[in-house]
Amino acid sequence: MGTLSALVRATHALPSLAVTAFFTAVALSAGLGARSALLAVAVLAGQASIGWANDYVDAWRDRAAARRDKPVAAGEVSDRLVGGCAAGALVANVPLSLALGWRPGASHLVAVGWAWLYDLKLKETWASWLPFAVSFGLVPVIVATALPDSPLPQATLVAAGSCCGIAAHFANTIGDAADDALTDVRGLPQRIGPAASTVVASTFVAAASVLLVVATDAAVPAVVAAVVGLGAALVMPLLVRRASGRHVAFRLVIAAVAVLVVAFVVSGGDHLVAG
């Protein structure tokens, strides 16, 4: 049970489940029906592969930073097992994704592929934000093309998804600045520093909020969510002034994104595709 628990935690379980839940909720609201379950399985497999790959590739960094919250670095599970699970989940994700249809399947595989590129190399470069922009932006594309006749989603929702992804990326680095400096992680957020990263994350949360209002024709839930998102954007720069508040900033971004997703679902999945 100890190894199994460590493997589950190495998937980055909470973010993986959150992304899967977001996908599933949007799919159900859009009318995908029972096939939403297949989408959920494909997404969860993809997220597990990404999380395992991240912990496998970053094992030496996590050990150097004494990350006791990382099962591989803490010696709770071997590098080899986690690496094998990452590869196995990636292979399994191919038929699971394509079972949705070639358009949504290919889109999902592209999203997972960009996340792997981040794990393997791009996190160390100025282009670290790009996989988040692409993969999150593909969420409405994956769901929409899984519907009958494979329609394309509203461009504003694709843009909103990209904004959410970029915001999450910059916010996620704010609390890890010291560890990243120790292990020479030089993504764009690390290059500009925690204060500037907070401003970037806040700006993109605000942009996503506005885009959601536009995409839903100013539906009441979307307007309420936009107010929450804008409020989060204003609060974040205040949190980053204290080191203890930097991890809270990331949670605030995730909460704001969750509120935006819920607002979209409540507003009606028919907004996914342009009328």
Residues 6+ apart with CB under 8 A from 129: 166, 169, 170, 187, 188, 189
DSSP state of 126: G
- Tell me the pLDDT band of 270, cut-offs 50, 70 and 90: confident
Output the pLDDT for position 181: 59
Handedness of CA 19, 113, 98, 101 (dihedral sign): positive
Domain chopping of the chain, boundaries: 1-124, 154-275
Q: Which of 166, 104, 139 is nearest to 261 (CA)?
A: 139
Q: Tell me, what's the pLDDT at 257?
A: 85
List phi, psi (to 5°) of 80: -60, -45
Question: With a threshold of 0.75, does the pTM exceed it?
Answer: yes
**Higher per-residue pLDDT: 107 or 75:** 107
Q: Would the pLDDT of 102 be above 90?
A: yes
DSSP state of 271: G
pLDDT band for position 190 (cuts 50, 70, 90): confident
pLDDT at position 242: 62
- Residue pLDDT, tens place only, 215-232: 999 999 999 999 998 988
Which CATH number does 154-275 carry?
A: 1.20.120
pLDDT at 45 over 70: yes
Q: Would you say residue 118 has pLDDT above 70?
A: yes
Over pLDDT 90: what percentage of the chain? 59
Position 241 confidence tier, pLDDT thresholds 50, 70, 90: low
Per-residue pLDDT at 246 exceeds 80: no
Q: What is the pLDDT of residue 133?
A: 97
DSSP 8-class letter at 274: -
Percent pLDDT > 70 in the chain is 92
Alpha helix segments (H runs only) across 99-219: 102-120, 130-137, 139-145, 155-174, 177-182, 188-192, 194-215
Least confident of 134-148, 154-168, 173-187, 191-205: 173-187
What is the mean pLDDT of the segment spanning 7-17? 91
Mean pLDDT of 72-92: 94
Q: Which of 2-16, 100-114, 195-209, 238-252 has the highest mean pLDDT?
A: 100-114
Give me the residue label for tokens 């690496």: 83
